[in-house]
Amino acid sequence: MTIKKRIKLRRITALISCLLGTIIFGLYYLVSDYTLLFVGYGFIVLTGLVNIGVLIAILVKARKDNINRKRLLNDCGVMFLNIPVMLAYCSAAVILLGTMRITFIHKTVSQISDMNVVGYGDGHVDKLEVGQSKTVWIEITGDCSIDVNYLSNG
């Protein structure tokens, strides 16, 4: 395999790792399905092992190839950029684990107003028209109760 093909392969590995991680995190954020957390953690482990293997191969090749050493070490830098991205996604996932996303869908015939969601963290919806929906994010810690108080027809 030529050096250009190796460099391209390594860059594609780094890019695909970042894109797939972003897709998994984005899906988790949108749907809050805990199955995606396990997929994400498994992806981090698998991708981490693959990227470490590729990184070691780059370093071994850079040590032997004086002509292309700078390009190869630049590829190492590109691969290292995935680390802060992965850490940011992991910390955001931990924060999301401590929140509950509740979507209220108004299906009655009268307007609902002054809706308060009370739990560990509080949420508020001023007004909910018939057929309208609203999402509230509430901070939770472990096992807690959530109460909803609202006014219907005043």
pLDDT interval class at 1 (50, 70, 90): low
Average of per-residue pLDDT values in the chain: 79
- The residues, any chain, with a CB within 8 Å of residue 71's CB and separated by 6 or more, are 3, 7
Note every long-range contact of 82-86, with CB atoms under 8 Å and residues 24 or more positions apart, other chains counting: 82/14, 82/17, 82/18, 82/21, 82/51, 85/18, 85/21, 85/22, 86/21, 86/44, 86/48
| 0.85 exceeded by pTM | no
- The residues, any chain, with a CB within 8 Å of residue 96's CB and separated by 6 or more, are 28, 29, 32
From 19, 18, 21, 22, select the one nearest 81 (Cα to Cα): 18
Higher pLDDT pick, 154 / 109? 109
pLDDT interval class at 131 (50, 70, 90): confident
Residue type, position 91, single letter: S
pLDDT, mean of residues 119-148: 76
